[in-house]
Structure 1
């Protein structure tokens, strides 16, 4: 169990920690000289079961709230310290407000310096403390009257802490590893060491992790857990990681994270919910703030989403805009302080680290954010999948909720998603959304048949752009494949159409084309252009152009380039050549295609370029640098002309 102290300066927090553990948590020479805590201190003490109780001692000065908040990250239990002689003071109240906004509801109250007060003053201080915590997360917490100097009452407090640690369930180590860095230093013979509280997952010696931002790769050389050498650490434990990599101590600072590579997603904005303290001032739209998240303190602004102003005690949905990048995940707590860092303006919780760029305030979007408040990814994913007609990016969803791979797969199945793999990415569709997608493709084909009845159908890539422009190619391919397998759409060479649709060429056009086609067949891989056919036959150029367009609609010609038509048979042969070049050379290039179809005597480069660009355009290939790679399902299938 990790215990964090809180309270006003000079109320005996560090003295009490030393009385409980025997460890002086003040580590800086200046702290020892001045007798006040300036930065985070740490102490550890063994428990009867062999585990370790950890303490994070925080400074109590009003100007060091940023250090206090860095220490509150990841603690399990609050030890609120109030001096019996002073009673609650400004930082007592401010720390309590911060703890309340962070949702920390396990704790105890230590009424210190009882050796310096009368019984009457002690009783009065106890009443003041009871009134102080009333209505907060620590309401009803036990109060222990102690003296760190004499030791009076310390044993009872320690017994309570030991019993609480024994009864507190161990924090689940689900998800991928992440640790918020609160300290970095160098040790001779060891190198760079970072310390912090592990928020999720596990880490072990030899593991590869990322320091993010800025995204430095590191290997865990060794580690200490709760101040003891260990082979592994897990969520809820204080870890000191000795890291090796291409970086130095100066490259690492408080506010950064050590995370599994999948979680290294720097962000400059996120959406969440914010709560204004009951005794605070209204929170305005686009108000400048300090954002305390993890162990970082970042300047930013608050863009309110569901209201124009959030009053005292109110909860609102907001987008937090940061001046520099950090890491965050769903559920992370944060504190907003005013631009001058003088007062707390709100506390909040991260809901979505991948907010949309547009339509942030629509009813659907606000409903989704509201669903994310439930802390149940099933509820959020089910609603998101119902809203996302083009599919849910499951990888981003899994990162936002820090789902391990097995957890993610189980969740996709529980929601009943149809999962489409697109390389390393995954898209999820509800059954209704998947059927609606296929219906839309069928309706798109029907509309196109009505618009152009003389066209044989629609090219695969054009159908995707017309009926599912926002859909990934992998999802479109899967949907169209299902429709093809069910014979709800059928292919005719490069075109897709409804089963009952037929495009025909008139007898007059057929006769005219029969007279011109031998010119195209004579040089099938570089047929004459429209103007050349017109010149050779004495036919008006525009008449040739219109005829070729009508024949192309019937699927017997392809417009490979402007006014340059190839027969369907020639295109099928060229497609086979390109596929063979892919199989033999890993891709088709302009030079290799030119050499195959025109020989090595030179010439033909321009036409070879146009052929490959045509195949890219219709979706048969995709270009990667100089290579044209055949897609998994080519748009120009092999065929034998009848």
Structure 2
């Protein structure tokens, strides 16, 4: 359980933690000279057989408000410390507002320096603060009156905190690991060490992590000064790192995670304003995690909360649900804060009604499953991008989409794989797209009875309804597998459609077919066919082009046409070579030897297979393409 102190400067936060734990969190000489905290301080309190309590001592002075924000970015409880002889001060209210904006639910009020005031003053101040806290959204906050000098009330407060820690339920260690770094230092013999709070997942010794594009490894873990084999979500730890380390990375404010991290310079957010705050388009300070970033704010829609987009000077890493604070550096005051809704904010269409509707739904969602269903209502969803925003894996998303409980009684969506992209869309949306495509093909066949069907490009212009290309191709393959569509080479058609050839073309095709079949995988070139058929070359070329449009022939090379079944033989040979290869690939020489068609034609055939999407060429080898 992690507990942060909050309150005005010189109200006794550091002395309180020292009295509770015996640890002086003021480490710096400057802190001891000035008698005030400048950097974050940390202390642990042993809890017997239970997990120890971690204390974060944050500075109270207004000049160090950014450091204070870093300290309360991930805590379970806060101690609001108010000196009994002084009462609430400006930083008291600002710290309290920050705690509320960051979503800290559990709060304790500690009246410090009670040895300096009469009991009647303590009681009066406690009643005034209780009423004040209730107005701020914290009803019935437990109160403790203490003195770090005399020790009065310290034992009772310590026991209360130990009892809270014993009953504390940490969030489940689900999802990929994600650690917020708030300190970095070096230890002789160990090297780089960072400390921070684990927001999700778990860490263990030997685990690989990413910090931006850099690959790191966990050499060792410590909790409360003791070696640990595993750290779970909600716990604070020190991590000894190895790998691709730099002086500037990792540093305070960075995130360490087990998944690749996406960066963005646009964050769509749900924003809550403090009273009397005024937003402007000037440069503001975004406090997110343990880092500070210059940002400009664009309001998207008024409401509770306000929808806005933050424009950043440098890209940063964030996820849906991350809490933040915004301050005005010129006025040196906190304006408000909220939650990140979409860490990959849109530049175009950011204020359109469907986009705002989705952001509202994500602001109200209590779980990634609810956010997923809301996104599916909007249209096709690229699952990798969604998983990236919510710190999930594709396996988790696909498991949810296959679960009746997760779908809340809705029909299971259509799941499609398109290369590196995974798509999901509602069944009724897929059916609506199919109806558009089917009507287009029916009209096309009626207008071109002599041709087999249009190519993918022509279909895309008519039937995609502005779908991404990868999704459109996946849908075509989906309907092809279902038998709703037919495909021959580049031509797509309805299964029942057959080209209606002119009588003369049909007769000539019957004469041509045995000549092509006799050549096997190496049919005669166009010039040879002209001589064998006794037809002028120009006339034959026009005929061959008509047969290609009708789907009867396939131009594998400029001067060589194949029957569809001959092309099937070429594809079958490529698949067999891949199946027989330990590397799952083959080269041109291997295809030439297996087919016996010669070097030049082999190159033309392989280039055709690449164009047709059967194979892909990589480092002098050919692999089967997905789908």
Question: TM (normalized to structure 1)?
Answer: 0.85
Report the counterpart of residue 369 of structure 1 in structure 2.
359
Contact 2:219 2:241 (C-alpha < 8 Å) held by counterparts: yes
Provide Cα deviations, 1:528-549, integer angstroms capped at 9, x if missing partner: 5589959x968483x5444333
Report the counterpart of residue 332 of structure 1 in structure 2.
322
Report the counterpart of residue 153 of structure 2 in structure 1.
153
Provide Cα deviations, 1:337-373, integer angstroms capped at 9, x if missing partner: 1254722122010122234453222222212111112
Q: Is 1:278 aligned to 2:240, yes or no?
A: no
Report the counterpart of residue 639 of structure 1 in structure 2.
none
Tell me by how many angstroms 1:10 deviates.
0.9
Matches within 5 A, 1:160-179: 160-179=160-179
Distance 1:38 1:491 in 2: 70
Distance 1:102 1:197 in 2: 15
Distance 1:365 1:231 in 2: 44
Contact 2:489 2:612 (C-alpha < 8 Å) held by counterparts: no
Contact 1:108 1:138 (C-alpha < 8 Å) held by counterparts: no
Report the counterpart of residue 457 of structure 1 in structure 2.
453
Unaligned runs of 5+ in 1: 634-642
| More displaced 10-residue stretch of structure 1: 185-194 or 335-344 | 335-344
The 1:305–1:562 alpha-carbon spacing in structure 2 relative to 1, beyond 3 Å, is farther
Distance 1:217 1:539 in 2: 66
Report the counterpart of residue 636 of structure 1 in structure 2.
none
The 1:279–1:242 alpha-carbon spacing in structure 2 relative to 1, beyond 3 Å, is same
Distance 1:216 1:491 in 2: 45
| More displaced 10-residue stretch of structure 1: 139-148 or 126-135 | 126-135
Aligned residue for 1:456, secondary structure, equals coil
Provide Cα deviations, 1:203-230, integer angstroms capped at 9, x if missing partner: 12222222x23x3222222211233322
Report the counterpart of residue 229 of structure 1 in structure 2.
227
Report the counterpart of residue 220 of structure 1 in structure 2.
218
Contact 1:462 1:618 (C-alpha < 8 Å) held by counterparts: no
Tell me by how many angstroms 1:196 deviates.
0.8
Selected match of 1:388 from 379, 382, 387: 379
Aligned residue for 2:37, secondary structure, equals coil
Contact 1:112 1:146 (C-alpha < 8 Å) held by counterparts: yes
Report the counterpart of residue 57 of structure 2 in structure 1.
57
Aligned residue for 2:449, secondary structure, equals coil
Contact 1:438 1:479 (C-alpha < 8 Å) held by counterparts: no
Distance 1:517 1:421 in 2: 37
Distance 2:489 2:391 in 1: 46
Aligned residue for 2:301, secondary structure, equals coil
The 1:566–1:420 alpha-carbon spacing in structure 2 relative to 1, beyond 3 Å, is closer
Selected match of 1:251 from 241, 249, 252: 249
The 1:494–1:102 alpha-carbon spacing in structure 2 relative to 1, beyond 3 Å, is closer
The 1:432–1:66 alpha-carbon spacing in structure 2 relative to 1, beyond 3 Å, is same
Report the counterpart of residue 479 of structure 2 in structure 1.
480
Distance 2:594 2:48 in 1: 80
Distance 2:450 2:239 in 1: 70
Report the counterpart of residue 438 of structure 2 in structure 1.
442
Aligned residue for 2:9, secondary structure, equals coil
Tell me by how many angstroms 1:442 deviates.
2.9
Unaligned runs of 5+ in 2: none
RMSD: 3.4
| More displaced 10-residue stretch of structure 1: 264-273 or 517-526 | 517-526
The 1:197–1:513 alpha-carbon spacing in structure 2 relative to 1, beyond 3 Å, is closer
